[in-house]
């Protein structure tokens, strides 16, 4: 049963505590709503008491409702049981007829005669049909690579690369067009003197006032221009080894100066590695510059080189041999 009460006090909290003290013995107390939050006033003047509405639930109503539900369920089950019994058909008595069973006479069957074992002969042994041999599983045949119509050729080394007069002219014409298109005033010079085999030197030189601007940091711009020239040469050349045909582009003798600088660096870093007894890592370099470092360090006893990293970050490490340290 739920009962409502209005409680007054100076504050809402105090009114709720007051309700708990008064009505907690009657049942569960819940604050339904705040009728008036109250007002303190100034020095007690104009103060208003706080009012709240609380509900007290003694739980009697819930118990009565539960008992009524149980009674309803019991009545329903009794009614369903009576209805099912009335619907069942009455069973009629069955009269069992007794039949006299005559004992069956057992008929003795004659025992089968034991068959004489046939004498083993060579012919009997051969009567068995020969088993056919099991077919062997065929192994999957490996697919052979299609034969190319072009004859196989061995990879060429750097020393075996030859450049014809026509191929060199292709590279020089490309460089002239490229440099003029980017707005630089330079001349492209190349020696076309043929040797006994009919080939010309691979070196192509760029000269002029603006030529030095085409070198770049550590020759990066020069290497890019050389790459483009060789790419054009590989596309337009009619040679069977056109992927190996390359020209060397140089500006103000930069290639020779850079090679000497790298060799000096290799000697300096090798001596530093020997003095400190530990490995030295060099800055990343392209494949052409790494070959120069490798070849120079090979001339120095007690140290060796190897490359680490990938692509543009590939660099050389100079290490001290163990025999030297021991």
CA-to-CA distance for 78 and 122, rounded, in angstroms? 90
pTM: 0.46
Phi, psi for residue 233 in degrees, rounded to 5: -65, -40
Residues near 26 by Cβ (< 8 Å), separated by ≥ 6?
3, 56, 58
Q: 262 or 209: which carries more pLDDT confidence? A: 262
Of the options 3.40.1160.10, 3.40.640.10, 3.30.300.20, 3.40.50.300, the CATH number for the domain spanning 165-252:
3.30.300.20
pLDDT of residue 92: 55
Place of tokens 């083993």: 120
Per-domain residue ranges for the chain?
2-60, 165-252, 255-325
With bands split at pLDDT 50, 70 and 90, how would you rate the model's confidence at 314?
A: very high
pLDDT of residue 51: 87
> Residues 135-159: pLDDT tens digits?
555 555 544 444 434 344 444 444 5
Of the options 3.30.1300.10, 3.10.250.10, 3.30.70.1350, 3.30.1370.50, the CATH number for the domain spanning 255-325:
3.30.1370.50
SS3 183: coil
């Amino acid at each position: 049963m739920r009962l409502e009460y209005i409680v007054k006090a100076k504050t809402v909290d105090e009114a709720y505590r007051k309700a708990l003290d008064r009505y907690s013995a009657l049942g569960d107390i819940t604050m339904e709503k705040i009728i008036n939050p109250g007002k303190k006033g100034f020095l007690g003047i104009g103060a208003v008491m706080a009012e709240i509405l609380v509900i007290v639930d003694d739980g009697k109503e819930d118990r009565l409702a539960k008992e009524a539900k149980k009674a309803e369920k019991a009545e329903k089950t009794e009614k369903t049981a009576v209805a099912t019994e009335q619907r069942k058909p009455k069973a009629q008595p069955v009269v069992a007829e007794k039949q006299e069973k005559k004992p069956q006479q057992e008929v003795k069957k004659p025992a089968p005669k034991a068959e004489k074992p046939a004498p083993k002969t060579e012919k009997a042994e051969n009567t068995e049909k020969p088993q056919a041999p099991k077919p062997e599983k065929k192994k999957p045949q490996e697919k052979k690579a299609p034969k190319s119509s072009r004859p196989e050729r061995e990879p060429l080394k750097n020393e075996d690369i030859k450049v014809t007069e026509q191929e060199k002219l292709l590279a020089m014409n490309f460089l002239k067009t490229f440099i003029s298109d980017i707005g630089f005033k330079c001349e492209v010079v190349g020696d076309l003197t043929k040797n006994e085999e009919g080939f010309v030197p691979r070196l192509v030189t760029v000269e002029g006032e603006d030529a030095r601007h085409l070198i770049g940091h550590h020759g990066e711009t020069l290497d890019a221009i050389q790459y483009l020239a060789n790419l054009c040469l590989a596309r337009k050349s009619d040679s069977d080894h056109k992927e190996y045909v390359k020209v060397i582009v140089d500006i103000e003798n930069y290639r020779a100066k850079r090679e000497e600088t790298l060799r000096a660096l290799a000697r300096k870093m090798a001596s530093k590695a020997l003095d400190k007894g530990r490995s030295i890592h060099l800055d990343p370099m392209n494949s052409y510059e790494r070959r120069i470092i490798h070849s120079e360090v090979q001339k120095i006893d007690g140290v060796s080189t190897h490359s680490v990293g990938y692509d543009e970050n590939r660099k050389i490490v100079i290490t001290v041999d163990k025999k030297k340290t021991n």
